[in-house]
Amino acid sequence: MTVQRHFKRMLIDVQDGVHLLHIGEMEIWDGADLALLREGLFKLIEHERCRAIAIDMRYVKYIPSGFFGMLVDWQEKRGVWFGLTTPQPNVQRMLWFRRFFQLNADGLYGLKEEPQEAMVATSHDTSECLTETAAI
């Protein structure tokens, strides 16, 4: 059974021990939205001892960079599991998203305990790349 409640302008659904946070159909989250989310997470994690939280990302096209770091901090410090509903392609292409989230069997993108290795070149020698490009 799903239980619904409100926290300020956020709707929270609770089903099978997972709290799903809905901020609304906004495409762009700003600092105020992030502050609301941080306040709601603090209440759920610290006061209610929630350990499984999902965030509705279906409408979001832009997120402040601090969003992902905030979730990683809560996971590391309090052992909270975080999931995201399928976000817009813009968010899915963000380095933080690709590095820290993985689609699970429930259709949510779960926050990994160990991030994927950074996608950076290991060598500064670009001569091979230039040679291959010139041959094309």
| pLDDT attached to residue 106 | 87
| pLDDT attached to residue 125 | 54
Its pTM stands at 0.77
Q: Is the pLDDT of residue 66 over 90?
A: no
CATH topology of domain 3-135: Transcription Regulator spoIIAA (3.30.750)
**Can you tell me the mean pLDDT for 109-134?**
61
The alpha carbon dihedral of 88, 35, 11, 50 has a sign of: positive
Q: Which residue has the tokens 């094309």?
A: 136
Q: Is the pLDDT of residue 80 over 90?
A: yes
Exposed (0-12), middle (13-18) or buried (19+): which is 70, by Cβ within 10 Å? middle
pLDDT in tens, 17-49: 899 999 888 888 888 888 889 999 999 999 999
Ranges of each domain in the chain: 3-135
**Can you tell me the mean pLDDT for 55-82?**
92
Q: Residues 6 or more apart from 127 whose CB is under 8 A from it?
A: none
